[in-house]
Amino acid sequence: SAPTRDRLRIAIQKSGRLADPARSLLAACGLSWRQSRDKLFCFGESLPVDLLLVRDDDIPGLIADGVCDLGVVGLNELDEQAKARRQLGLADAYQPLRGLGFGQCRLMIAVPEEWDWQGPAQLAGRRIATSYPAILAAWLKDKGVDAQVVELSGSVEIAPKLGTADLICDLVSSGATLAANQLKPVETLLDSEAVLAGPAHALDDARAGLMAMLLRRLDGLSRVQD
Ligand code: ATP
Ligand code: ZN
174-191: burial string, b at 16+ Cβ within 10 Å, e else: eeebbeebebbbbbebbe
- The ligand whose atoms approach the alpha carbon of 99 most closely is 1
Ligand 1 atom with the shortest distance to the CA of 174 = 27
User: To test ligand 1's pocket by mutation, which of 56, 181, 189, 195 has the most ligand atoms within 8 angstroms of CB?
Assistant: 56
pLDDT at site 148: 98
Contact 186, 128 (CB under 8 A): no
**ipTM exceeds 0.85, yes or no:** yes
- Which residue puts its alpha carbon closest to atom 11 of ligand 1? 16
- Which residue puts its alpha carbon closest to atom 4 of ligand 1? 55
pLDDT at site 38: 67
For residue 197, how far is its CA from the centre of ligand 1 (angstroms)?
16
For residue 53, how far is its CA from the centre of ligand 1 (angstroms)?
15
Ligand 1 atom with the shortest distance to the CA of 177 = 27
Alpha-carbon gap, residue 111 to 185, rounded angstroms: 7
- Which residue puts its alpha carbon closest to atom 29 of ligand 1? 171
For residue 138, how far is its CA from the centre of ligand 2 (angstroms)?
21
Instruction: Return averaged pLDDT per consecutive 10 residues of the chain, 226 residues in all.
Output: 81 97 97 82 95 97 97 98 97 97 98 98 98 98 98 96 97 95 98 98 92 97 74
Pocket of ligand 1 (CB under 6 A): 13, 16-18, 55-57, 74, 76-77, 103, 105, 171, 173, 192
pLDDT at site 113: 97
Contact 120, 167 (CB under 8 A): no
pLDDT at site 106: 98
Ligand 1 atom with the shortest distance to the CA of 74 = 20
Instruction: Return the sign of the alpha-carbon dihedral for residues 130, 133, 138, 141.
Output: positive
